[in-house]
Amino acid sequence: GPRPSASPGRSRARSGVGAVAGTVTGVSGTQVTVQPTSGSPSTLTVPTTVRVSEVEPAGAAALQPDQCVRATGNRDSRGAVQATSVTVSPPGPSGSCTGGFGGGFGGGQQGARPSPAPSARTTGG
């Protein structure tokens, strides 16, 4: 029978590493839907243990529709990113999310810096 393995060609991203950046369009529990400046929406899972960095003070409910978000983490088999780092900022004057993070996200330049395994910096209980 078929082996349960990652199917080649299904995802062009490097396996195991994911980055999501764009406008939050929906939040349901730990699942956040993000619409990038181009392309189709991405699903982001934000565990309650992840520390969210805020460009401007936004309170605990920073992840809500129309906020700009940038997250990196491990991509699962369905293509959802399990966030290990999340940054939230308000949208720019035009309502877009390109300004807060230094411009377009459409290239292959995310993840230029290798990050350590996410298990080393877990805090809280």
For residue 69, give the CATH number of its domain. 2.40.50
Domain total in the chain: 1
Rounded to whole angstroms, the maximal C-alpha distance in the chain is: 54
In a domain? residue 9: no
Q: Where are the beta strands (DSSP E) in the chain?
A: 18-28, 31-35, 42-45, 52-54, 68-75, 81-89
Residue 29 domain boundaries: 18-93
In a domain? residue 107: no
In a domain? residue 122: no
Greater confidence (80 vs 115) lies with 80
Residue 35: the pLDDT is: 93
Span 85-95, pLDDT tens digits: 889 888 888 88
pTM: 0.58
In a domain? residue 103: no
In a domain? residue 98: no
